[in-house]
Structure 1
Amino acid sequence: MLSAFAFGQPWILLGLLSLPVIWWLLRATPPAPQRISFPPARLIFEMARREETPARTPWWLLLLRLLIAALIVAGLARPVLNPGAEFASSGPVVLIVDDGWAAAQSWRARVQTMVDIANRARRQERPVILLRTTPDPDAVAPRAAFMSATEAQGIIQGMEPRSWRPDHAAAAAALEGLSLEGAANLYWLSNGLEGADARALIEAARRIGTLTVIERPAGESVTLVRSVEGAGAQVEVRLERDIDTTAETAMVRMAAEDGRILMRRPVAFEPGMRQTSLTETLPVEALNQIARVEIEGRQSAGSLALLGDGLKRYRAGLAGTREPERAQPLLSDLYYLERALAPFAEIREGEIARLLDEPLSMLVLADVGQLVELDRLRVADWIEKGGVLVRFAGPRLAEQSDDLLPVAIRQGGRNLQGAMSWSEPAKLAPFPESSPFRGLPVPNDVSVRRQVLAEPTVDLPEKTWARLEDGTPLVTAEARGKGWLILVHTSANTAWSNLSLSGLFVEMLRRMSALSTGIDVEAEDRMLAPQTVLDGFGRSARPGPTVRPLNQAAVAETPIGPRHPPGLYGEDAAALAFNVGDRAAQPVRLGDLPAGVLRGEIGGDPERDLGPWLLALALALLLADFVIALWLRGHHRFSRRSATASALLCAALTAGLVLAPATGHAQQAGEVDRSVVEDALDMRLAYVVTGDDRVDRMSAAGMFGLNEILRARTSVEPVEAAALDIERDELIFYPVVYWPMTESQPALSDRAVQKLDSYLRTGGLVLFDTRDDGSPIGRGSDAGPGTMRLRQLLSRIDVGPLKSVDEDHVLGRSFYLMDVFPGRYSGGRVWVENLDSSANDGVSPLVIGGADWAAAWAMDDSGRPVAMLHGGGDQREMSFRFGVNLVMYALTGNYKADQVHLPAILERLGQ
């Protein structure tokens, strides 16, 4: 029992020896006599005088005051519940921390374990040496840092895992370079993975002191997303873990760039299995949207894979004719095009006008001569917006054509075989360095018998992507607007060449389709600039100044590290995914340890400082003693103001003692106080930071846009919106808080739930935006991921029944008259709490919807909209009006509620 209790300053307990002296002083000093106002004092002047013994202090008051003294002494002695064991050696405490991606999923427990060890070092007055085993972002090798235990606590609480692996060899060298007095107490918070360098680190630690290896519990695994591969419409996800002793189920999900969940499936590991896989067949629309594949509940850079452009498939439209070849399909151009495009594209076939009615990546015209004027104009506009038009030659195109060609062609074409031929069939020449086909091998058996010829012009060499051996162009192209216009000078079937029978035909079409998203395939050894990188938790972040471009030709040999962290490299539409799983070694659990090396597990009961609580209890009893003393003197009545002031003083001092940080935690009180004052004096809206960088940037832009509208149209002058960490920041200063829901947002702690519940009860308003146009009270599989996440959140908060906002609700009357509340999406319903008008001035503490209002409000610094809306400017204007109404509703309550009853009021006035 006593082993679970210790004191940080035990010598202060000597103060308990003063309790008998305090007892004697209190008994010797009687309480002050009561004063009674009695005017006829002359009546007692003649009374006989006798000696009287002063009254003693009541025994129960003596006990109360002794208890107060004992609590003060015990609180100052800094009692600790669940203290750790004494250090075995006399030297300093060395904390060796594996802070790579493999440690991320249990990082909070690791930090608590390190803080507890630092607390023990502080109590025993030991210095601390902190050694992080990963290189820092400047690529500096691990170094041991000497510091006090108090400094170590502040640094530990600010640490976060990095997305590259530890360098145990460098960490071992850092230990060998230490010069210590006495044997050290070494604690290695290991990631639990085996390796030759890990053994070298153990041996280096053993030579300078006593080593304890602290790792994950035996049944907790490190699981990698090893690879994500696509074949046709199928996606295969391979997982790998470091143990095979237990059965385990991993929930794999595929998410779009905006966080929407496209697929979610369980994958089982049976005992004896280290690897498993999941194969899913998905529609092309879903394949093209997959941005990341991750293991649910595992916050680690290794438990997810970014895809970049890896699985993207394209939708190709085919226009031509099959009628003459229906009996002989092998003579049809479309027959060969379908089979060449099928491995990487979804194929649509039909008339040009119908094909352009749906999104297309590429439009292929097989021997289509002249387009009708309406179709020509639509195709030209589609190319300008980023489409790729590929035209194949044939008898019709050779006879007549329009201006949708990259070069002017001669009518009639060139025949290289037959009675009138003047040459043998020509073979292909190697592709030029400037061609997207650069690097593709040219088969020797591919030949061209007939082609259409381009008119010689000055820019013809620049437009030529493929040539025959005699130098005549086979493929020409021209950029128009954001798109491309490509002409293949031979047919798509075997009538003019045998190109369509080769694998080269498939690869050429694949690279043409890649141009529809702006992919530059000119050079495979180009340098790819970092676009977004992952931290140790797998969260997307902007690349820092030390991140270097990635050489595409050397990707396979480039290790993940501070210079090249995992993430996306290259242009937005052609990003290359650089993932941990592609390059990580096989994860193997750390095996048996040498004799003399202790082994422990992360977690357990954390140390708890009871000092602030004991001092707070002593203060409360001291105030009670003060009130009792006043009562004994005859002051039986207190004004309401005095009682309120006393209660507030007691609450403030008690909260200050209980919530005050421990001495080891670095705090910048001055800065915090200034920010609190600013938030209290200014009218400021706020949004909740979700951890999803893209969503948070959109929220910031949305609140900026709403602030601009409020300043322009109302008397409200808000300052810059605040970004709130719901776990740390105070909510009370913000009248409206915008909270977008994300599937990856972590669950709230009990303290955050209490804080949010208190905010909602005391006049705050939160706009919960599920961003999926869903219903927060929906049921079944129709609910989106944002709605499901919100449902989990609201289940822990005291929320009354909800109702849909109708046309009579004040939210539609507080500034503008409106009965729909669109955002990026329209048509969804808005929900509020169903409360009576007397509660909180009739203002619902929460407003719920799924319209993605931040995207509709979002503006850049120049005031231009950020996101496109299907409803255009009218829908954006209505979304701004909803934002204005929401803020006015929160600030003014139901002062315009009489507008709801306006028809009845007018009717009465008319009578």
Structure 2
Amino acid sequence: MSLSAITFLYPAMLAGLMVLPIVWLLIRSAPRAPKNVIFPAARLLRGLKSQRRDIQRAPIWQTILRCLILTLLIIAAARPVMNRNDFARNEGALLIIADNGWESAANWSQYRVALQQIANQARFDLRTIYVARTAPEAAGASTWKLPELVGPVSPHDTENLIDRLHPRPWNSDYAALSDLISENPEMNNAIGSILWLTDNMDGPGKSALATDLQDIAPITVISPTRTDRIAITSLTRSRTGMVVSIAHDRNENPRTINLLARGERGSVLLRHTAELAANSDQSEIAIFLPSDIANAIQAVGVEGIESAATMYQTGARWQQRRVGVIVSSGDSPGVLSDQYFFLDRAISPYADVTYAPLGQLLDRKVDILVATGPISGLGSQFEALERWVNDGGMLVRFAGDSSTDIGNEFLPVTLRLGNRDFGGSMSWEKPKRLLDFPDNSPFYGIAIPGDITVNRQLLAEPDPDILSKTWARLTDGTPLITSATRNSGRIVLFHVTPWADWSNLPMSGLFVELWQKILPLASPSNNSDAELSTSLPPQAVLDGFGQTHQPDAVILPVRAPLPPPNPRHPPGIYGENGQAVALNLGPSLGNVANTVNWPSGVSVRQITRHDQVDLAALCLLGALLLLLCDALILLAIHHVTLRRNRRSNAFTSILMVIGITGMTSAILMGSSGSSHAASLQEAALQPRLAYLKTGVAPVDRLSQAGMTGLTEYLRRRSAADLNTVDGIDPETDELSFYPLIYWPLVDGQAAFSERARERLNRYLNNGGMILIDSRDREVQPARLRRLLAGLEVPLLDRAPGDHILFRSFYLLDHAYGRFSAPLWLDARPNQRLDGVASVLFGGNDWASAWMIPEGRDEIRSEDIAPRQREMAVRFGINLVMYALTGSYKGDQVHLPAILERLGR
């Protein structure tokens, strides 16, 4: 510790140190109390005369000790503070702008530290606080807006707000915040300083907002120490695996990151170390993977950076399709390599291609069938092929050679007899080129090279719906590629051959791009964006940290074209099964590498981990301890004299020492006692959950994180607005304020004392509820009986599936947690307590499933599947509702019998 870290809030009080020399002289010159010495031989002194009077000065140790006491008192009056965070000048109210858009998630732990430090400084300076957030929230039926400004509030209320503040998985709206602040002139007049917690990434309206705020008060930008900005912008399949596109800030040196590919239930399939390019804002990372592993990938993220921008979900279109090319049973490999060369080169990098007769391909349940010319073996497999297409298969057909007819079955349009020849010796027409793809085509937006020509084509009859079936057409308007749905399936027809005799399209790069758009359409429900006319409901969405959770009621279905992530459509998976569409944040971000240019006059500083400590209380405590030492030393020196002649004075001194000791003890216990009283007052005003302290630090941290996460889930999904979680000790703490106490069992846990058992019995008899968690799937009655010895615990029985606990909010059938062990509760609950169980016992490690992972937890997030975590959260919400409201939903459990009795 260096003295430079200490700041005096009232430095003028240090002038009192100038009186120390005077005090020193006074103490040294003042005579000590005279002693009465009994000396009977007084006649020996007869005739003696004294010419001077000796003065006995105070000893040097006493002088130094008392000067040191005075020094400590003067320093305490100057109010010393260690690691003072001078975020802003000490005048007026504080406006805190908390940047809680997607970019804040990666550094959110640092933001929380800075917010705590600001609130702590405001408490020292006796300043009020206003809080503004930059990320919009859902409002109304289908819109969103910025949340209202909070304030003026006290630093204590600000800390409660900090616990509820979280990053959002969408962009900040700085322009809306500028308008919102300008609409509050009363606040603008009261603000003396503005503190803006944000990084150095630019955003629309960010510099303009800073310019507008300078007209109100000085601005201090508080930025995190880590400046890396990373977002996954795309994820594509390749011939050998996949390619990850990453947008990042520029750096002179290459950086290394780890990519995590996750499969079903969040399991880690791959950890790949990649390098970000130097002096660039884009990096392409190729990962070699077998097709079966690539197909199992459901999300790719960046290890160590928890953000919605670093989590890219795949959806149903990611799955590599199995393509079957229909061939005759007698075709040789040499013939296949000649006829299907261009087709194979276009499809094989992105799909598994199989060449086999029609019957074998149908048995293998391929996703796409490709027929070049007439369908070989159609006679015996007609019904099987028709059933396969109607059930969702995709049939892609090509024209045959000039001597064959492809038939009239399984076509999207009606064909004219023969074919149309443009460049032959008997034709006056020149080869045709392609027009731009129409907007109803999945190829819409693909650039068409100017050298693509068509010499011959199959001509379609001009049916009334020919335009809606046309995906590509020539310059004269005739169709080149047509498509039509058949029940759940689809038929696509190329009006040219897959080799280069009718057109040079198969040998061009455009042919590859067309197949890249066709392959994802193989799933029957996985239509192109242009055909995504139905609304897709949300199935699972991401929060600001990139963690999956169940959607809330404010989240709306999506339609094509997919919108950028917003409060009504956060990133996640929308739709079901084959129609599961992934809405990702990364592709909508275009400013990851841009750095903001702050206006002149804006002060920028980084977040530090040093907490502000008030040393005045330590100085006062030191002065009291030294004063006690002075009294004890004097008492020891004069012990003999006090015992003989000053018994009354000794008694008085002893009382003084006892008083000083009691006062010192009161000072030592004052802070803890006052905080405990404040805690009781807060607990009485606002309910909160609690956990039983075990004395094992990792278990207590896990319990606190789990109950805090459950409190946050309750706030998001219900009207239960609980305060922060408390850790309690039944030996010393009052339990009646807590509706639910979580008790994790640990090895070697001692039994309760008599006082603790009395408090717990009173808590249970008055309607309290305790959830006992063995955390190991094992329910050992003997172990529980030993720990609960002396407690009035009723007989426990296994919870039935129709218990009110499983119906209080969500409809459940089990007490889900990290594990799925049974739940035990009161077999015959007390009717005086409305029949509510007071003791629940299980081993599902609920705290691990309820906590919101933040990277430092003892339980890794991949140990718990997202679905299992969601069901555990639902059980936790049911449990708290059951503890708060009792059996008010008991009638719903018996609703069928009640309706039957009423005759309805």
TM-score (norm 2): 0.54
Which residue number in structure 1 is paired with residue 687 of structure 2?
668
Aligned pair 1:115/2:116, yes or no? yes
CA distance in 2, matches of 1:365, 1:679: 73
Between the aligned partners of 2:360 and 2:374, the Cα distance in structure 1 is 16
The answer on whether the counterparts of 2:432 and 2:454 sit within 8 Å (CA) in structure 1 is: yes
Query: CA 1:663–1:263 in 2, change beyond 3 Å: closer, same or farther?
Result: same
Whole-Å Cα distance in 1 between the matches of residues 870 and 359 of structure 2?
Answer: 32
Q: Paired residue for 2:341?
A: 335
AA of the residue aligned to 1:585: N
1:224 to 2:231 alignment: yes
Q: Which residue of 2 aligns with 1:132?
A: 133
1:259 partnered with 2:266: yes
**Structure label with greater radius of gyration:** 2
Amino acid at match of 1:129: Y
Provide the residue aligned with 1:104 in structure 2.
Answer: 105
Letter in 2 for 1:233: T
SS in 2 for 1:737: coil
> For 1:341 and 1:579, how far apart are their aligned partners in 2?
29
Q: What is the CA deviation profile of residues 710-743 of structure 1, one whole-angstrom value per residue up to 9, with x for unaligned ones? A: 958x9999654456699xxx9983425278999x
Which residue identity is paired with 2:197? Answer: L
Cα distance, 1:85 vs structure 2: 5.6
Does residue 735 in structure 1 map to residue 821 in structure 2? no
Are positions 1:390 and 2:396 aligned together? yes
Q: What SS class does the counterpart of residue 154 from structure 1 fall into?
A: helix
What does 1:71-110 correspond to in 2, within 5 Å? 88-110=89-111
Instruction: Give 1:259-278 correspondences, 5 Å limit.
Output: 259-268=266-275, 276-278=283-285
Alignment of 1:165 with 2:171, yes or no, is yes
Shift of 1:264: 1.8
In structure 1, C-alpha distance between the alignment counterparts of 2:514 and 2:299, rounded to whole Å:
28
Name the residue aligned to 2:44.
none
Structure 1 residues 248 and 408, CA, compared in 2 at 3 Å: closer, same or farther?
Answer: closer
CA offsets 1:387-422 (integer angstroms, 9 cap, x no match):
212234437995796965667889x85586999989
CA distance in 1, matches of 2:176, 2:423: 74
Q: What is the aligned counterpart of 1:536 among 539, 544, 569? A: 544
Q: Which amino acid aligns with 2:530?
A: A
1:527–1:686: structure 2 CA closer, same or farther, 3 Å change rule?
A: farther
Alpha-carbon shift at residue 160 of structure 1 (Å) = 0.8
Query: In the TM superposition, what is the alpha-carbon distance from 1:579 to its structure 2 partner?
Result: 2.4
Specify the SS of the correspondent of 2:545. Answer: coil
Counterpart residue number, 1:632 = none
Amino acid of the residue matched to residue 350 of structure 1? Answer: A
| Cα distance, 1:251 vs structure 2 | 1.0
CA RMSD of aligned residues (A): 6.0
Deviations 1:54-108 (A, max 9, x none): xxxxxxxxxxxxxxxxxxxxxxxxx999785687413222222111222112323
Conserved? CA contact 2:202–2:596, under 8 Å: yes
Secondary structure in 2 aligned to 1:733? strand
CA distance in 1, matches of 2:534, 2:358: 39
1:242-641 residue pairs with structure 2 within 5 A?
Answer: 242=249, 244=251, 248-256=255-263, 258-268=265-275, 276-308=283-315, 313-321=320-328, 332=339, 334-358=340-364, 360-371=366-377, 375-394=381-400, 398=404, 413=418, 446-447=453-454, 449=456, 451=458, 479-488=485-494, 491-494=497-500, 500-501=506-507, 505-506=511-512, 508-517=514-523, 518-521=525-528, 523=530, 531=538, 533-540=541-548, 561-562=566-567, 565-567=570-572, 573=579, 575=581, 577-580=583-586, 582-587=588-593, 597=603, 599-605=605-611
Contact 2:423–2:455, Cα closer than 8 Å, also in 1:
no
Give 1:145's aligned residue.
150
- The 3 A distance-change label for structure 1 pair 342 and 661 is farther
Looking at structure 2, the residues matched to 187 and 472 of structure 1 have their Cα atoms a distance apart, in angstroms, of: 65
Change (3 A) 1:494 1:739: farther
What stretches of structure 1 of length at least 5 have no aligned partner?
Answer: 8-78, 612-652, 689-708, 754-769, 771-784, 791-849, 860-911
CA distance in 1 between counterparts of 2:190 and 2:467 reads 78
Structure 1 Cα separation of the partners of residues 206 and 475 of structure 2: 59
Tell me if the contact between 1:710 and 1:716 (Cα under 8 Å) persists in the aligned partners.
no
Amino acid at match of 2:256: T
Deviation at 1:159, TM superposition (A): 1.0
Match of 1:881 in 2: none
Would the alpha carbon gap of residues 160 and 608 (structure 1) be closer, same or farther in structure 2, given more than 3 Å must change?
A: farther
Aligned to 1:347, the other structure's residue is in SS state strand
Give the residue type in structure 1 aligned to 2:122: A
Amino acid of the structure 1 residue aligned with 2:687: Q
Matched residue SS, 1:523 = helix
Give the distance between the partners of 2:403 and 2:869, measured in 1 at CA. Answer: 50
CA distance in 2, matches of 1:427, 1:295: 49
- Do the aligned partners of residues 530 and 116 (structure 1) sit closer, same or farther apart at CA in structure 2, a change above 3 Å counting? farther
> Would the aligned equivalents of 1:684 and 1:722 in 2 still touch at CA under 8 Å?
no
Change (3 A) 1:684 1:407: farther
C-alpha distance in structure 2 between counterparts of 1:432 and 1:592, whole Å? 45
C-alpha separation in 1, matches of 2:685 and 2:594: 38
Identify unmatched segments of 5+ residues in structure 2. 10-78, 618-671, 690-719, 723-737, 742-763, 777-797, 825-838, 875-904
SS at structure 2 position matched to 1:585 = coil
Residue 610 of structure 2: SS of its match in structure 1? coil
The question of whether the paired residues in 1 share the 8 Å contact of 2:399 and 2:458 is answered with yes
Instruction: Give the aligned partner of residue 764 of structure 1.
Output: none
Higher mean alpha-carbon deviation, 80-89 vs 595-604, is at 80-89
How much does 1:536 deviate? Answer: 2.1
Note if contact 1:369-1:399 (Cα within 8 Å) is conserved in structure 2.
Answer: no
Output the amino acid matched with 2:116.
V
Aligned residue in 1 for 2:67: none
Task: Give the C-alpha shift of residue 294 in structure 1.
Answer: 1.5
Q: Is the 8 A contact 1:153 1:665 kept in 2?
A: no
Once the two structures are TM-superposed, the CA of residue 148 in structure 1 deviates from its matched residue by 2.0
Which residue identity does 2:199 align to in structure 1? N
Describe the SS at the equivalent of 2:127.
Answer: coil
CA contact (8 A) 1:682 1:718 kept: no
* Partner Cα separation in structure 1 for residue 108 and residue 6 of structure 2: 25
Q: Tell whether the 8 Å contact from 2:565 to 2:583 is kept in structure 1 after alignment.
A: no
Query: Given the superposition, is the C-alpha separation of residues 111 and 232 from structure 1 closer, same or farther in structure 2, using an over 3 Å criterion?
Result: same
Distance 2:854 2:145 in 1: 35
Q: 2:265 touches 2:866 (CA, 8 Å); kept in 1?
A: no
Contact map agreement 2:818 2:845 (CA 8 A) in 1? no
For the pair 1:193 / 2:194, whether they are aligned, the reply is no
Q: Mapping of 1:880-891 within 5 angstroms?
A: none
Structure 1 counterpart of 2:605, one-letter code:
R
Match in the other structure for 1:155:
161
C-alpha spacing 1:375/1:679, structure 2 compared with 1 (3 Å)? farther
Of residues 202, 207, 223 in structure 2, which corresponds to 1:215? Answer: 223
- Give runs of aligned pairs for residues 33-52 of structure 1, distance below 5 A: none
* Cα distance in 1, alignment partners of residues 565 and 805 from structure 2: 48
Q: What's the offset of the Cα at 1:472? A: 8.4
Give 1:278's aligned amino acid.
Answer: I
- In structure 1, how many angstroms separate the alpha carbons of the residues matched to 2:383 and 2:767? 56
CA distance in 2, matches of 1:474, 1:196: 44
CA gap of 1:457–1:148, structure 2 versus 1, over 3 A, is: closer
C-alpha distance in 1 between matches for 2:268 and 2:262: 4
Judge conservation of contact 1:227–1:582 (CA < 8 Å) in 2: no
Aligned partners of 1:591, 1:336: CA distance in 2, in Å? 52
2:520 is matched by which residue type in structure 1?
A
Contact 1:686 1:724 (8 Å CA) reproduced: no
